Amino acid sequence: MKVGFIGLGNMGSPMAMNLLKAGNELIVFDVVEANVAFVIDQSKQKAISCKNVYELANMDLDVIVTMLPASQHVRSVYLGENGILENVDSNTVLIDSSTIDPQTARELHTLANAKGIALLDAPVSGGTAGAQAGSLTFMVGGDDNTFQKMKPFFEQMGKKIFYCGRAGNGQVAKVSNNLLLGISMIATAEAMTLGVELGMDPVVLANIINASSGRCWSSDTYNPYPGVLESTPASRGYTDGFGTDLMLKDLGLACEAAKSVKQPIMLGGLAQQIYQAFSRQGNGHLDFSSVINFFKNH
């Protein structure tokens, strides 16, 4: 297929490369020229670059994938005179894999559908390692027939591809999961800190939790205590993981989405404030499991 890819950051660049390796033609754009140059170089000049969204949208593409930081970037790329929706051919399938709020995703679906354009919201989990390995999990919302048609395409970048239902439901699944993850990391951090303060060895404590009812992904796969698991960010100074500021953004999305249906998410609200305070102390760039230092230092 002839694929356009917009947003060549930590996630987008390896995802785009996997699409090229799978045999697609690749046309790319990013506002940061160095990110474009990196992908063109990695592709051994096989990928083609465009100078803006307008030019890319007019390339007669089969698919356009966007992988952008947040809702405002997605809006600026899709909407307006020079945006995707105004310029794309109605046969092009649009896939937004950015993590954004479900309300914006639903608004984009409505605007695209009004023009007869198929759009899927398809946020991912699996991090940069999953993007590189082509093992991402996709959570897809939108028209079922379009999903079925595009499933093999998603499989070129991911391993588990879930259909979540109506427009925006991919984002609903993503915010719900990250709400739980953000809370469970703080709970694990609290429990580990308490146990160690009261005299337990952290490795012994983690082994017991992981064989008991407190076990969760944050304790057995991504333990926040340094030295408990070898290959986690905690054991390399909280570098190269999922940033505290990205978790803060996702909890903000969860709180906003909850407000739209007046659903109380009390622990989520508290978790958001804890990551916010921790980020303000200068830790936004560190992996989110470093939130354990918030408890160690109090």
Catalytic residues: 174
In the complex with ligand NAD, which residue's Cβ is closer, 206 or 271? Answer: 271
Q: Are 241 and 258 in contact (CB under 8 A)?
A: no
Instruction: Report the SS3 class of residue 93.
Output: strand
Q: Are 24 and 1 in contact (CB under 8 A)?
A: yes
CA proximity to 191, closest of 170, 206, 175, 169: 206
Could you give the CA distance from residue 76 to residue 60 in angstroms, rounded to a whole number? Answer: 21
In the complex with ligand NAD, which residue's Cβ is closer, 8 or 108? Answer: 8
In the complex with ligand NAD, which residue's Cβ is closer, 99 or 218? Answer: 99
Find the shortest distance in angstroms from Cβ 294 to ligand NAD. 21
Q: Are 6 and 57 in contact (CB under 8 A)?
A: no
Helix (H), strand (E) counts: the chain: 14, 9
Find the shortest distance in angstroms from Cβ 228 to ligand NAD. 21
Binding region for ligand NAD (CB under 6 A): 6-12, 29-32, 35, 67-69, 73, 76-77, 98-99, 124-125, 127-128, 242, 246
Structure tokens at 266: 């009390």
Amino acid at 51: K
Find the shortest distance in angstroms from Cβ 115 to ligand NAD. 20
The residue at minimum Cβ distance from ligand NAD is 9
Find the shortest distance in angstroms from Cβ 15 to ligand NAD. 9
Q: Are 130 and 124 in contact (CB under 8 A)?
A: yes
CA proximity to 101, closest of 218, 290, 249: 249
In the complex with ligand NAD, which residue's Cβ is closer, 77 or 93? Answer: 77
Neighbours of 211 (CB within 10 A): 10
In the complex with ligand NAD, which residue's Cβ is closer, 95 or 246? Answer: 246
Find the shortest distance in angstroms from Cβ 9 to ligand NAD. 2
